[in-house]
Amino acid sequence: MIESKYKKALALAATAKTIYETSSALYEKYQEHQKNKSDKEIYAISVSERTDAYFFACFSMIVAEFLSEGATERKNFLEFSARSDQRLIFVPSLSNSAFMFEGSLVTVERTVESPVKGSMSRDQKLLVLKFRTYEAREKFIKLASSEFEKLFLVADRNPSNWIRSFDGYEWDRVRKIKKTKDSVFLSDGKLEKIIDHVKKFDESEELYMKIGSGWSTGVCLYGPAGTGKSSMAEVIASETKRDICLLNLDAISGDQTWGKLLSSVPERAIVLIEDIDTFKVSNDRDEVKSEGSKNISLSGLLNFLDGGMTPHGAIFVITTNKIDVLDEAVIRPGRIDLSVELGYVNSAQVEDIIFGISGVRTTVASCRDKVSPAEVMKIFRSHIDNLEAAIPEILEFVS
């Protein structure tokens, strides 16, 4: 009886030992697995230049900052990878690099994704950051978000204050908008009238929705060349903190491309059509559009200005030297809500220009006909190193 119990105990002990050894082996394998997993687990951030343009720019700047400190050759990678105080690890090529962040290795991959075959889209840049720990990735995201706010979301800066041009695929940046209301000199309160109109519009989205009207407005600036029409369009953009989408009607190959262009105009954009009178579609209703024509139709233009394809929140600014030749449908109320003539300067305007540019108060006794603001500014530019020296020449020129 006792012997039987003893044998049973030995058997149980042997089983327990086997279980323990098996469990220990499994635990060791588990620990090894976890260790390997922590080395191999990837926590990635992928940022597209097209869909997240500003985040892409911000992430790129932060990565560039890390990569600019103490670059080493790839052959030194193993030596430096164990040093947590070394931010940069290596820069093997333009497409792949790495740095240390919060004691964790971060690899950087820059790739270009090709569009789907048959698509009108262009190649887009992709920035991929791969982190070894979840914590490092989250801290980097917080850092990037903080930098993004400093760079793009401060109250007195606007990341969208750009002039853009349609290249057949999308609206590419051309240059930043530089003009402000202090750099434009109009007579008879016209500057204030234009700014007041666009600012009231900017604040009236709910009112437009309430009356069942699309939220858009149009401003027509007309007058001789050199009177500040294009500059005024930039002032409108500066005052409303909007992009300008510069539209060249001659560059549009038919209503199909026109439709693509319309669908890609961002909300709250200023759509600028300069010298609209030079485009036949705006002033020749009787011209019949032939089959296969590369020009847009009048109905396509009108539907853009006030119709189902009008971008939400758009401010249309059209400029022309000859308002009388435009088709009445183009400039009717609802499409163009404010028309302002920008003419040649008078004596008071010349005085304002001289003071605004040089800071010198001057009396202009008389001003001859047909002097444009651009001609006065040209004289200032010829004396850019000594603006006051331009004043006598300007007084002589305008008298």
CATH number at residue 214: 3.40.50.300
pLDDT-derived band at 18 (thresholds 50, 70, 90) equals low
**215 and 337 in one domain?**
yes
Confirm whether 211 is domain-assigned.
yes
**131 and 84 in one domain?**
yes
**310 and 168 in one domain?**
yes
Confirm whether 72 is domain-assigned.
yes
**203 and 125 in one domain?**
no
At residue 287, the pLDDT reads 53
**325 and 224 in one domain?**
yes
Q: Which of 122, 152, 182 is where one domain is finished? A: 152
Whether 4 shows a pLDDT value over 70: the answer reads no
**93 and 67 in one domain?**
yes
**103 and 30 in one domain?**
no
Whether 398 shows a pLDDT value over 60: the answer reads yes
**311 and 176 in one domain?**
yes
At residue 82, the pLDDT reads 34
Confirm whether 60 is domain-assigned.
yes
Contacts of 155 (CB under 8 A, 6+ apart): none
Contacts of 144 (CB under 8 A, 6+ apart): 55, 58, 59, 62
**273 and 202 in one domain?**
yes
What rounded mean pLDDT belongs to the chain?
76
CA–CA gap between residue 106 and residue 318 (Å, rounded):
50
User: CA 162, 163, 165 angle in degrees (round to 5)?
Assistant: 130
At residue 36, the pLDDT reads 52
Q: Tell me the torsion sign for CA atoms 308, 312, 315, 318.
A: negative
Q: How many domains would you assign to the chain?
A: 4
At residue 47, the pLDDT reads 75
Q: Which of 152, 186, 217 is where one domain is finished? A: 152
Whether 242 shows a pLDDT value over 50: the answer reads yes
**184 and 288 in one domain?**
yes
At residue 91, the pLDDT reads 33
Whether 68 shows a pLDDT value over 70: the answer reads no
Nearest one of 55, 262, 88 to 170, comparing CA atoms: 262
**233 and 178 in one domain?**
yes
Q: Indicate the range of 94-98, 135-139, 177-181 predicted with least confidence.
A: 94-98
Confirm whether 157 is domain-assigned.
no
Mean pLDDT of 133-156: 73
Q: Residues 247-281: pLDDT tens digits?
A: 877 767 665 667 677 777 887 889 999 999 887 76
pLDDT-derived band at 295 (thresholds 50, 70, 90) equals low
Q: Domain containing 28: what range?
A: 1-35
At residue 69, the pLDDT reads 53
* Top-confidence residue, 107 or 239: 239
Whether 105 shows a pLDDT value over 90: the answer reads no
**176 and 296 in one domain?**
yes
Q: Which of 152, 172, 203 is where one domain is finished? A: 152
Confirm whether 292 is domain-assigned.
yes
* Top-confidence residue, 380 or 209: 380
Whether 128 shows a pLDDT value over 70: the answer reads yes
Q: Residues 39-64: pLDDT tens digits?
A: 456 788 777 765 556 666 677 777 77
At residue 223, the pLDDT reads 95
